[in-house]
């Protein structure tokens, strides 16, 4: 194998310990793991409840399943009628694509594959000519969801990849299911993307989520703890998900800039976003990584419903942290 691919979660959950009232479910989801914590006095759940939901979501939107709806669409089948999950993610993607002026764009799937971060193989060395040939098919504004719930494109080729929003969306789906069964205090985490409701009844306090330092040497160190209540948090970073060509030493990060089509490392090392939904938090974290610090800060001036923690590199190469003003009292540094 001629490359090294490193993929780990961006978060740890800071545990306050188990009590008899706390129930924990864990399993595999979307190529990573999930953890659910809830209180048994409110409801009762089984792993099969969530595996059933995952089966439906994967059959709709997993690019790693050849006969999923999204894989069939990417292969050119325009007769597929997409389900409610696909419709929800498509509409959320369009909204955030418009809000970020294209910095969040799930139509970059061909480029994701070319750089080695998807199911479709990768190019040994990605050239500018390769990028140009694939970049012509990028642009979420070329796509539409029809009244018949089919996907149409003005381009001859498309490759949708919802991986930058699907984990957050699935977290929301799990949370909605918990609430529908009467759970009022819970935590859902999938691969580091988190949604919480109510409080941690063990300690009668808000849920606390840990955020790691972006360390590329593989070590893990929690730097901040964030108190959350009825909120979601997602983090994106290039420090644990990248590919290194063993022959050339070229490093490719997983963030694809939809404006250039290139695997691009910006001065934001880690972008954590707190939002009402994990769907939004997940997508905006990806967009901020592509924007870079200056553009992201400008965006936040007119989008004050989002709170962020950016760990970034200044012009002198020093690691800095920006924390939204509204979060100041909710963040503890370790």
pLDDT per residue over 243-261, tens digit each? 444 455 454 456 888 998 8
Q: Which residues of the chain have pLDDT under 50?
A: 1-10, 20, 242-246, 249, 251-252
CB atoms within 10 A of CB 155: 12
105 annotated ligand-binding residue: no
Q: How many CA atoms lie within 13 A of 56 on its CB side?
A: 14
In angstroms and rounded to an integer, the radius of gyration of the C-alpha atoms of the chain is: 20
Return the CATH number of 3-333, one of 3.90.1530.10, 3.40.50.300, 3.10.520.10, 3.40.50.150. Answer: 3.10.520.10
286 annotated ligand-binding residue: yes
pLDDT of residue 43: 87
Per-residue pLDDT reduced to its tens digit, 95-112: 999 999 999 999 999 988
pLDDT of residue 153: 96
Its pTM stands at: 0.90
**Cross-sheet strand order for the sheet of 251-253:** 3-6, 242-245, 251-253
pLDDT of residue 272: 96
Domain ranges of the chain: 3-333
164 annotated ligand-binding residue: yes
pLDDT of residue 244: 46
């Amino acid at each position: 194998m001629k490359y090294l691919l490193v993929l780990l979660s961006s978060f740890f959950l800071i545990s306050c310990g188990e009590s008899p009232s706390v129930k924990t479910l864990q399993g595999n989801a979307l190529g990573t793991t999930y953890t659910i914590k809830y209180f048994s006095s409110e409801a009762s759940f089984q792993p099969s409840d969530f595996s059933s939901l995952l089966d439906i979501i994967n059959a709709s939107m997993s690019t790693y399943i050849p006969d999923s709806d999204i894989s069939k669409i990417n292969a050119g089948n325009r007769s597929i009628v997409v389900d409610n999950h696909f419709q929800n993610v498509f509409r959320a993607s369009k909204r955030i694509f418009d809000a970020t002026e294209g910095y969040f764009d799930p139509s970059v799937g061909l480029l994701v594959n070319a750089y080695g971060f998807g199911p479709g193989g990768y190019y040994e060395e990605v050239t500018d000519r390769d990028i140009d040939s694939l970049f012509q098919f990028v642009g979420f504004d070329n796509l539409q969801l029809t009244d018949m719930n089919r996907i149409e494109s003005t381009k001859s080729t498309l490759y949708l990849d919802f991986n930058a929003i699907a984990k957050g969306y699935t977290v929301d789906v799990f949370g909605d299911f918990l609430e529908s069964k009467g759970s009022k205090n819970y935590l859902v985490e999938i691969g580091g993307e988190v949604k919480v409701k109510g409080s941690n009844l063990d300690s009668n306090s808000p849920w606390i989520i840990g955020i790691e330092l972006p360390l590329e040497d593989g070590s893990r160190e929690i730097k901040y703890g964030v108190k959350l209540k009825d909120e979601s948090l997602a983090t994106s970073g290039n420090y644990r998900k990248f590919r290194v060509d063993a022959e050339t030493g070229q490093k490719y990060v997983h963030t694809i800039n939809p404006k250039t089509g290139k695997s691009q490392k910006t001065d934001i090392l880690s972008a954590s976003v707190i939002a009402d939904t994990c769907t939004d938090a997940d997508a905006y974290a990806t967009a901020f990584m592509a924007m870079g610090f200056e553009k992201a800060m400008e965006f936040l001036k007119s989008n004050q419903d989002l709170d962020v923690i950016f760990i970034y590199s200044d012009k002198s190469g020093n690691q800095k942290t920006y924390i939204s003003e509204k979060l100041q009292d909710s963040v503890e540094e370790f």
